[in-house]
Chains A and B, each alone.
Chain A
Amino acid sequence: MDEELQPEYGPKWSDQRVERMLGALVLAMVALLLALIVTVVINGWPSFAHNGLSWFAPGGNVDDQLNVISQSAESGAGYVYTFHAWPLIWSTILIAGGSVLLGLVAALFVSVFLVEFAPPWIRSILQPVVRFLASVPSVIYGLLGVLVLVPFIGNHLITEDQKSSVAGVISLTGYSLMAAIIILTIMIAPLMVSIFTDALNSVKPGWIEGSLALGVNRWRTVWKIGVRAARPAIVAGTVLALARAIGESVMLAMISGSTGFAPNPADGLIFIYEPSRPLAPTIVKSIDQLSSPPAKATLFAIASFLLFSGACFSLAGWATRRAMSKYGAP
């Protein structure tokens, strides 16, 4: 007890010094983030500068362009930067958007179920299940996708007619948009569930009770009062999931098909069987070319596009949340 009362770290650990040290650490973190952004953008700048806005446009085969870019460093005839990323961007939009939409629906229903309707014994199973699904490493999801889901889609869902109908353009093997969206949904839905349940649990009981007292049944009460009040958190969770979906690289590198092909919804339903490759897996697949300066610039340009779009989504989510939180629960 006496020892407790004797501050042996008197002046050495004075408050001011501690505050200054911690403040320096915090400043270092901020500086690190700034350095990260600046480094990534500066390294990627040559690619943007050479292509201009056509960087984002369709045109030519992306895989060929990447090959030419990485080989141009050795040929000595000057660096080639021509790169049209549209197929990769389109694939990112399809896969991330599709799985976030699916995941949003699934997560909303599951979290309503968890908070309001599940019997206690199911809740005691479902809660750890959600936590477990969120913590399984992405490479395990990728492995299961490659060895279980992709062969299943390739052998049983895609018919021979469908394979031959597009044989001249692309080969359908099961590495597809569909496999990528299914697995990615399983990966990000638990994330949303955990955020949504927190929000639904913190809706003021009085609001729910008021609705019930008016004779509205429990189902409609949850959706009209609970889910509405939790809207800001729902937006937050969706944005977070979208950021995760866009940044997911390894799992998608394994099962999305890894060809720079833009699946066309106008082809009919067959487009969900078509392979593609989003932006983040492109970096993983081309990481060996990092020693060639133009390829490095291209990869960093992709990375800065990922950073920028992530930042945009966060900002949009923040603005929506602010507008909605006027009438919402915390």
Chain B
Amino acid sequence: MESSVATPPPPPAPPEGKTPTKAVEGSATWSFFDRLGLAFCWFLGLLFCAIAAAIVIYLLVQGIKFLKPSMLVTPASAGYTQGESGGFSDAFIGTIILGTMAISLALPIGVAIAVWLVEYGRPKALARLTELTIEAIAGIPSIVLALFGTVIFSSVALGFLSRSTEGVVFGRSFFAASSMLALEALPLVVASTREGLNAIPRHVREASYAVGKTKAATTQRILLPTCRPQIATGGMLGLGRIIGDTAIILVLLGATQNFAPVEGAPFPLNYLRGAGTSLTNFVYEASPTGNLNQPQKAYAAAFVLLLMVLALNAATDLVHRRARKVGTWSH
């Protein structure tokens, strides 16, 4: 019925991109130095890509050249040439053990701290102090964490976590290394989970309270399932940090390239209480500056490590993308 009224022309479609300012002005009119700066931007951007490509391609070539599948199933052994000294199966399994143990320690603690910070956070002073603590932990160099670990895990009270002979506690074990590694991954988990919890609007919580749920039940049934993608992201970032760390493993897991299980303990415990190794430790020791000096095998192990990191990155991306597709509360 309003067809008689002249309808205004439809507004022009907003241009693509975040802001309408994009792609309106080329650099042709700029002064020389501005254009020089832009060229520098391009150069650095492409340089970053080139460096990443060089790392991946170089390690890929070296990895294909030197990595034999048998290396993943044979433990390291003494030998004069690089062909005789076995593989690095213990290091490979060690990395998996460390990743599993450390992340299963860091994830629940990190999520719990994030929940307390966002959902409870009283008294205010304690909340500020906690934020400060988490930031401080994130800033502590891993070698300092490792030194701290040597002190607490060689105390007699924690002797059951590592090898001890005649009252002297060895202090190096998978338990010791993975608990310090968990501390390193913790800030990442906390930050990511907090971000997820903060993104959930208030009315979701209020709706849950209105039907009589307690805060704890709301958190467990509604908030945590909602920010599952962020928790997973934090966990994977933490896992990447854990499998990439060398200093803590070097100090707290032992300078051996094989498992050194403790005698007289039941099966999984004897290995977990004993010293061991990880891929990062193997790469360090097999590099020319380490004790083994087997560069070919160092390349092979580094290639395996890089593949793990790439897989983690891809998985993180996937979680991110899926979370965006499904849509969260903020959409």
Considering only residues 129-147 of chain A, those with a C-beta below 8 Å from chain B are: 129-133, 135-140, 142-144, 146-147
Given contacts A147-B295, A310-B139, contact A30 B133 (CB under 8 A): yes
Q: How many residues of B contact A (CB 8 A)?
A: 87
The 8 A CB mask of B239-267 against A (1 = contact, 0 = none) is 01001111100110001000000000000
Chain A-chain B contacts (Cβ-Cβ < 8 Å), number = 239
Given contacts A40-B148, A136-B309, contact A243 B139 (CB under 8 A): yes
Contact among A27, A128, A254, A307 for B126, CB-based, below 8 A: A27
B317 within 8 A of A: yes
Inter-chain CA distance A30–B116, complex, in Å, is: 14
B213 within 8 A of A: yes
Contact A303 B41 (CB under 8 A): no
Q: How distant is B283 from chain A, measured CB to nearest CB, in Å? A: 5
Q: Is the interface of B mostly helix, strand, loop or mixed?
A: helix
Contact among A25, A126, A220, A290 for B113, CB-based, below 8 A: A25
Given contacts A140-B302, A303-B143, A310-B141, contact A254 B287 (CB under 8 A): yes
B55 within 8 A of A: yes
Given contacts A110-B48, A254-B289, A284-B143, contact A137 B30 (CB under 8 A): no
Contact A135 B143 (CB under 8 A): no
Contact B306 A22 (CB under 8 A): no
CB-CB under 8 A from A283, the residues of chain B are 143, 147
Inter-chain CA distance A283–B41, complex, in Å, is: 38
Inter-chain CA distance A255–B290, complex, in Å, is: 11
Contact A310 B299 (CB under 8 A): no
Inter-chain CA distance A306–B215, complex, in Å, is: 41
Contact among A30, A36, A148 for B140, CB-based, below 8 A: A36
Contact B44 A30 (CB under 8 A): no
B109 within 8 A of A: yes
Contact A218 B21 (CB under 8 A): yes
CB-CB under 8 A from B305, the residues of chain A are 137, 139-140
Inter-chain CA distance A290–B284, complex, in Å, is: 20
Contact A146 B287 (CB under 8 A): yes
Inter-chain CA distance A255–B150, complex, in Å, is: 26
Inter-chain CA distance A208–B18, complex, in Å, is: 12
B1 within 8 A of A: no
Give the nearest-CB partner of A137 in chain B: B244
Inter-chain CA distance A14–B117, complex, in Å, is: 18
Inter-chain CA distance A307–B120, complex, in Å, is: 30
CB-CB under 8 A from A253, the residues of chain B are 289
B214 within 8 A of A: yes
Given contacts A22-B116, A128-B317, contact A247 B141 (CB under 8 A): yes
CB-CB under 8 A from B295, the residues of chain A are 147
Q: How distant is A279 from chain B, measured CB to nearest CB, in Å? A: 9
CB-CB under 8 A from B288, the residues of chain A are 146-147
Contact B313 A128 (CB under 8 A): yes
Q: How distant is B221 from chain A, measured CB to nearest CB, in Å? A: 7
Could you list 14 examples of A-B contacts with CB < 8 Å? A19-B215, A22-B113, A27-B126, A109-B40, A126-B45, A140-B283, A140-B306, A143-B287, A143-B299, A147-B287, A218-B27, A247-B140, A300-B147, A303-B147
User: 3 tightest A-B contacts by CB?
Assistant: A247-B141, A137-B244, A113-B41
Interface residues of A (CB under 8 A from B): 4-5, 7, 9, 13-15, 18-19, 22-23, 25-27, 29-30, 32-33, 36, 39-40, 43, 106, 109-110, 112-114, 117-118, 122, 125-126, 128-133, 135-140, 142-144, 146-148, 186, 189-190, 201, 205, 208-209, 212, 217-220, 240, 243, 246-250, 253-255, 258, 280, 283-284, 287-288, 290, 299-300, 303, 306-307, 310-311, 314
Interface residues of B (CB under 8 A from A): 18-19, 21, 25, 27, 29-30, 34-35, 37-38, 40-42, 44-45, 48-49, 51-52, 55, 58-59, 109, 112-113, 115-117, 120, 122, 126, 129-130, 133-137, 139-145, 147-148, 150-152, 183, 211, 213-217, 219-221, 240, 243-247, 250-251, 255, 280, 283-284, 287-289, 295, 298-299, 302, 305-306, 309-310, 312-313, 317
